[in-house]
Amino acid sequence: MKEDIIYEIGGTKRPQNSFLQRLLLFVNRIPIIRNNKMVKNIFCQIFNFPISTTFSSSFYCSSPNVFMGENVGLNDTYILAYAPVYIGNNCSFSFRNMIITSSHSFDDFSTVVASPVRIGNNVWITSNVTILPGVNIGDNTVVGAGSVVTKDIPSGVFAAGNPCKVVKKINFRK
Written as one string, the DSSP assignment of the chain is: ----EEE-TTSSPPP---HHHHHHHHHTTSHHHHT-HHHHHHHHHHHT--TT-B--TT-EESSS-EEE-SS-B-TT-EEE-SS-EEE-SS-EE-SS-EEE-EEE-SS-TT-EEE--EEE-SS-EE-SS-EE-TT-EE-SS-EE-TT-EE-S-B-SSEEEETTTTEEEEE-----
Is 20 among the catalytic positions?
no
Selecting among 29, 104, 151, 169, the annotated active-site residue is 104
CB 29 within 8 A of CB 49: no
Catalytic residues: 104
